[in-house]
Amino acid sequence: MAKVLYDEATRVYPGSERPAVDALDLDIKDGEFLVLVGPSGCGKSTSLRMLAGLERVDGGSISIGERDVTHLAPRDRDIAMVFQNYALYPHMTVADNMGFALRVMKAPKEERDRRVREAARLLDLEEFLDRKPKALSGGQRQRVAMGRAIVREPKVFLMDEPLSNLDAKLRVQTRTQIAALQRRLGVTTVYVTHDQVEAMTMGDRVAVLKDGILQQVDTPLRLYQHPANVFVAGFIGSPAMNLAEYRVEGEEAVLGDQRVRLGRETLQALRKEGGDRVILGFRPESVEVVGDGEADPSAFPITVTVVEELGSDAFLYGQYAHAADPALAAQTVIARVDPNAPPGKGDRVNLRILPGKERLFSAVTGRCLPT
């Protein structure tokens, strides 16, 4: 086991005007499960491949443990990688696939057999050791690919979207198994996914990337509750955070008829940057439905366009009612409502952000503002 350190690691592809990964600083603790997440093209897979030695590092360095591996060949880095396409040999049995790397390393047969049996037991694959990959389900093949990595007893596991070929139900089941297995083994793991739900449910910490730049790295809960900027706020969470630009009037943020009072520290930060606008965000669960008769300047009317009823939860999607501004009228608001008495399509409801649940961001920099 070992910690992993990216120190301003940079990768620039030939002919590209900007780095695919730009000065990445990331300290991954020994035994930690860290997830790299972000939209397509954000640099997460490139970051993983740089660590694996499959992509050149054009600037900065990467270390595993106390050793600088920036320019080492992949075979010399003591890592094991699990790909999304399994990469199993179809003519070999499960046991032979799992033990192949050990055979190449000329490990004694008794040692190979012991490690394969131990990995098969961990992965519940003992009854499939004599089968060929074509006789296995997708989930079983993925476990074989995991087993092939485990038997090598590496310092670091690298996983590049290993669940993307599985159906939705099997993905949920397998991600739980992978997370539990990693905690049992205690091996430092770097896991890449584009699925933020997968990231939030698996990682000890999650690193969010955009355009090759690290936006924030933190625990899943802190990412959700305290996003560092507008991008993280909008990317993390399902359904997504509601975000809209408000104009600042005196000590209030104003959008249509809605008024939200701003704190002293927020106003000071806005004055310092000279901005007269602020981006306000709130989670779907951070609002409540209030009656029409309640005189509350912070409440705002919404016309319901869609209601998603999920059994234990219900979410309404709607537009600001009677909005004179076309941009405001096109803004979609998502709110969690009582699943036992959800509103209907076309209904008008008044929503109010719960005190202290709003998040404020600079309209100039996108960074989170003090509240």
* Predicted structure pTM score: 0.90
Q: Are residues 222 and 244 in the same domain?
A: no
Q: Are residues 144 and 245 in the same domain?
A: no
Residue 78: Cβ-neighbour burial (10 angstroms; 0-12, 13-18, 19+): middle
Quote the pLDDT of residue 105: 86
CATH number of the domain enclosing 131: 3.40.50.300
- Please indicate, yes or no, if residue 173 is contained in any of the structural domains: yes
Distance CA 64, CA 324 (A): 57
Q: Are residues 19 and 144 in the same domain?
A: yes
- Please indicate, yes or no, if residue 370 is contained in any of the structural domains: no
Distance CA 207, CA 226 (A): 14
Q: If you average pLDDT over residues 74-85, what whole number do you get?
A: 90
Mean pLDDT, the chain, integer = 91
C-beta atoms surrounding 173 within 10 Å: 11
- Please indicate, yes or no, if residue 79 is contained in any of the structural domains: yes
Q: Are residues 215 and 275 in the same domain?
A: no
Q: How many residues does the chain have?
A: 371
Q: Are residues 69 and 175 in the same domain?
A: yes
**Could you tell me the residue range of the domain that residue 318 belongs to?**
239-362
Q: Are residues 60 and 160 in the same domain?
A: yes
DSSP per-residue letters across 271-335: HHHT-SEEEEEE-GGGEEEE-TT---TT-EEEEEEEEEE-SS-EEEEEEETT-SSHHHHT-EEEE
Domain boundary among 227, 248, 274: 227
Quote the pLDDT of residue 322: 66
Q: How close are the terminal C-alpha atoms of the chain, in Å? A: 41
Tens-digit pLDDT profile for residues 151-204 = 988 999 999 998 888 888 888 888 888 898 899 889 999 999 999 889 999 999
Q: Which amino acid type is present at position 288?
A: E
- Please indicate, yes or no, if residue 367 is contained in any of the structural domains: no
- Please indicate, yes or no, if residue 254 is contained in any of the structural domains: yes
Q: Please name the residues in contact with 340: beta carbons below 8 A apart, sequence gap of 6 or more.
A: none
Q: If you average pLDDT over residues 131-160, what whole number do you get?
A: 91
Tens-digit pLDDT profile for residues 292-333 = 645 566 788 899 999 999 999 999 999 987 666 666 667 899
Quote the pLDDT of residue 327: 64
Domain boundary among 227, 248, 263: 227
